[in-house]
Amino acid sequence: MSSDSAISPEDSPTKDIDQVVHQRVRLGLLTIANEARRVEFRFLQDSMDLTAGNLSQHIRVLEEAGLIRVIKGTEGRKPRTWVSVTKAGRQALHDEVASLKALIHRVERAGDPTT
């Protein structure tokens, strides 16, 4: 393929990238939640180095997409928020990883950039 040839939408290297999942914070959030039965909000905030407001926004996007479930409760007398990945979220994460692997394969197949 020459650099001047047009790529059809079907051949776009990023056509299968899910914008909801692919965003850096949301991809990380789904990955951590996928590794545990449930994960506490504060743990996510600390491990991803986010403000509470920023994390809340990303959680809201994933929750509205049906990819995570938010559970509010208490532990002792302290209010807590836990996040767990849904079946759809687990599938979306696996689909995203498969899309990224395909993109990597395409780049590697194109060859060494120094030649």
Q: What is the pLDDT of residues 96-108, one digit of tens each?
A: 999 999 989 988 8
- Average of per-residue pLDDT across 63-88: 95
CA quadruple 95, 99, 104, 110: dihedral sign: positive
> In 3D, which of 97, 108, 87, 102 has the Cα closest to residue 21?
97
| Average pLDDT over all residues of the chain | 89
> In 3D, which of 82, 60, 52, 61 has the Cα closest to residue 19?
61
User: Which phi and psi angles does 93 have, rounded to 5°?
Assistant: -65, -45
Alpha carbons 80 and 26: distance in angstroms, whole number: 20
Q: What's the Cα-to-Cα distance from 68 to each of 37, 91, 102, 105, rounded to whole Å? A: 11, 11, 25, 29
| Residue of 55 and 18 predicted with greater confidence | 55
Q: What is the pLDDT of residues 42-66, one digit of tens each?
A: 999 999 999 999 999 999 999 999 9
